[in-house]
Amino acid sequence: MTLPRELESMIVLPADRRYPMLRSTFTRTCRPAMVMLPANTAEVVAALRFARDQDLPVAVRSGGHGPAGRASNDGGVVIDLSRLDDVRVLDRSRRLVRVGPGARWATVARELSPQGLAISSGDHGNVGVGGSSISGGIGWLARHWGMTVDHVRAAEVVLADGRIVRADASTEPDLFWAIRGAGVGVGIVTALEIEAAELRDVGVIRMTLLADREGEAIRRLVTYMTGAPRELSAAGMLMPYGGEAILSTTAVYAGDDVRLMRKAVAPLRHLSSGLIKQHIQRVPYSALLPCEQLEPNTGQRPGTTTNGLLHAMTPPAAEAISAAVFAPTPTLIQLRSAGGAINDVPPDATAFAHRNHEVLVIGSVFPPQDSGALDTLWDEIAPHMDGSYFGFESRPDAAAFRRCFPGATGDRVLELWRRYDPDEIFRPPGL
Ligand SMILES: Cc1cc2nc3c(=O)[nH]c(=O)nc-3n(C[C@H](O)[C@H](O)[C@H](O)COP(=O)(O)OP(=O)(O)OC[C@H]3O[C@@H](n4cnc5c(N)ncnc54)[C@H](O)[C@@H]3O)c2cc1C
């Protein structure tokens, strides 16, 4: 294969010393034929055209944190957007920020902090802007400010045929609908305009509690969070701990009034009688997504992940979730606040349709446990769930697709994926 001269400067081949740091994703070790590092939209078009002319499979990568590991491949071309990482305030009065998909949330938080702005994103600083802004983005400001997709106001997209289009509420409205939840199958998003929140400091409470087999601690957590002030969002990790289990919870209060913050978090102490430790702090929002979390993705965390959404944590649901952690298979269960501002958005306004839930439950197993081990545990949990989130599915097969995009939403997603990507360049296989 002859490499066109104009592309040479952006191509990283297996013999290149940068290749080991660029070939993989967070969850998967891969061997692409080449990684392309375009520096602007025109170079993304050139990279895509080259891959299509050579008939090579294409993987698009922003941060490489997707659990499915689809941001790389074996034998194909990876279009790595890490050089498209600009963060620029376009209009301070409208809090409108232009962000490159290759930026990581740690960098975005650091750049916006001096301006008193924050974008509601995920909870980990190394996650890429691109993948999360087109699938969801549920994090520390979820109940207060909604998800990332809820505040995307426009996107620049390179379509499968190489055209560059702007998608917003009035231009390409169908494409704009699809990229807010189902953006993996329509093209390559090369820039996003996102409305930020006015936010400087936040309150953080970190607590570790003993969790019970019956699931009473997690049921109390979700029940309290459902009626808690909207400034409060929480994430809990349920983990085996000897023969017991612990619930490690971080709650974030989106505001700097210490009195209100203490009042909002006080009931969390009583989730279980076994409070092991608790710590409350007031910090800049950017401290939640520290730059120390930035690292290359080299397949360091293989595993299988699935998830489900719940309207309410009923006693049977809580018991089924807890049982997974007390089972002999080592399993990580995460609970994340949904609800609040997320539910202010009508279900058909974006391709993320789940707008009447209160909690997202994520289950993961890691080697030597395989996907079958997770399925066995999840079979008991799944009947309590209603829908799931594409960004936390490591196996985006047809069944997962319908859980993530139920009913008419799924039909519309498939229709738009076919319309914008007729040759199935971007679409996950089998969908
Ligand atoms: C440790 C960890 C923590 C996480 N925490 C959260 C969290 O708190 N909240 C949350 O909502 N999610 C979270 N996630 C899930 C994560 O947000 C999603 O998986 C997201 O897709 C990752 O974005 P990325 O840019 O890093 O992904 P990538 O792996 O680069 O991409 C994911 C998918 O999107 C496609 N894609 C990427 N960029 C583009 C683009 N610019 N245009 C078109 N398609 C593109 C890729 O081809 C791939 O199919 C977490 C994941 C991990 C591993």
Residues 209-260: pLDDT tens digits? 999 999 999 999 999 999 999 999 999 999 988 888 999 999 999 998 889 9
Q: Which atom of ligand 1 is nearest to the CA of 137?
A: 11
What is the predicted pLDDT for the residue at 51?
97
pLDDT digits (tens, 9 = 90+) for 281-313: 999 999 999 999 999 999 999 999 999 999 999
Query: Which band of pLDDT confidence, cut at 50, 70 and 90, is reported for residue 384?
Result: very high
Which 3 state secondary structure label does DSSP give 121? coil
Average pLDDT over residues 64-71: 97
Q: Report the run of H or E that residue 334 belongs to, with start and end.
A: strand 332-337
What is the predicted pLDDT for the residue at 252?
96
| Percent share of the chain, pLDDT over 90 | 90
Ligand 1 centroid from CA 61, angstroms = 9
Mean per-residue pLDDT over the chain, rounded: 96
What is the predicted pLDDT for the residue at 410?
98
Ligand 1 centroid from CA 294, angstroms = 14
Ligand 1 centroid from CA 408, angstroms = 24
CA distance 353 to 183: 14
Q: Cβ atoms within 10 A of the Cβ of 101, count?
A: 28
The token pair that represents 281 in the structure block: 């702090």
What is the predicted pLDDT for the residue at 330?
86
Q: Cβ atoms within 10 A of the Cβ of 42, count?
A: 12
Q: Which atom of ligand 1 is nearest to the CA of 129?
A: 25
Average pLDDT over residues 16-43: 98
Q: How far apart are the first and last CA of the chain?
A: 31
Q: Are strands 87-91 and 188-195 parallel, antiparallel or unpaired?
A: unpaired
Ligand 1 centroid from CA 361, angstroms = 17
Q: Are strands 332-337 and 232-241 parallel, antiparallel or unpaired?
A: antiparallel
Average pLDDT over residues 119-134: 96
Average pLDDT over residues 323-341: 94
Q: Cβ atoms within 10 A of the Cβ of 276, count?
A: 13
pLDDT digits (tens, 9 = 90+) for 72-95: 999 999 999 999 999 999 999 999
Average pLDDT over residues 350-354: 98
* Smallest CA separation from ligand 1 atom 11, residue: 137
Ligand 1 centroid from CA 167, angstroms = 20
Q: Are strands 77-80 and 34-36 parallel, antiparallel or unpaired?
A: parallel
Ligand 1 centroid from CA 27, angstroms = 11
Ligand 1 centroid from CA 269, angstroms = 33
* Smallest CA separation from ligand 1 atom 44, residue: 184
- The answer to which of 37-51, 119-133, 255-269 has the lowest mean pLDDT is 255-269
pLDDT for residue 275 is more than 80:
no
Ligand 1 centroid from CA 245, angstroms = 29
Ligand 1 centroid from CA 224, angstroms = 29
What is the predicted pLDDT for the residue at 361?
98
What is the predicted pLDDT for the residue at 177?
98
The token pair that represents 141 in the structure block: 């400001």
Using the structure block, give the residue that is written with the tokens 């969002």.
233
What is the predicted pLDDT for the residue at 122?
85
pLDDT for residue 429 is more than 90:
no
pLDDT for residue 379 is more than 80:
yes
The dihedrals phi and psi of 372, each to the nearest 5 degrees, come to -60, -35
Q: Which atom of ligand 1 is nearest to the CA of 60?
A: 47
The dihedrals phi and psi of 408, each to the nearest 5 degrees, come to -65, -30
Say which residues have a Cβ less than 8 Å from residue 298's Cβ, sequence separation at least 6: 20, 21, 24, 29
Ligand 1 centroid from CA 22, angstroms = 16
354 to 141, 311, 406: CA distances (angstroms): 17, 10, 9
* Domains in the chain, CATH or no CATH each: 9-80 (3.30.43.10), 87-199 (3.30.465.10), 202-404 (3.40.462.20)
* Smallest CA separation from ligand 1 atom 33, residue: 131
Q: In angstroms, what is the C-alpha Rg of the chain?
A: 21
Say which residues have a Cβ less than 8 Å from residue 19's Cβ, sequence separation at least 6: 12, 13, 35
Exposure class string for 56-92: b at 16+ Cβ within 10 A, else e: bebbbbbbbbbbbbbbbbeebbbbbbbebbebeeeee
Average pLDDT over residues 2-25: 94
Cα dihedral: 314, 387, 153, 115 (round 10)? 40
CA distance 64 to 132: 10
Q: Which atom of ligand 1 is nearest to the CA of 157?
A: 42
Ligand 1 proximal residues by C-beta, below 6 Å: 25-26, 59-67, 70-71, 81, 101, 122-124, 127-128, 130-132, 134-139, 183-184, 188-189, 391-392
Does pTM surpass 0.75?
A: yes
Among 83, 84, 105, 127, which residue has the most ligand 1 atoms within 8 Å of its CB, making it the best to mutate?
A: 127
What is the predicted pLDDT for the residue at 279?
86
Among 36, 58, 65, which residue has the most ligand 1 atoms within 8 Å of its CB, making it the best to mutate?
A: 65
Average pLDDT over residues 178-191: 98
CA distance 254 to 105: 17
* Smallest CA separation from ligand 1 atom 49, residue: 70
AA identity, residue 66: G
Specify whether the CB–CB gap between 365 and 373 falls below 8 A: yes
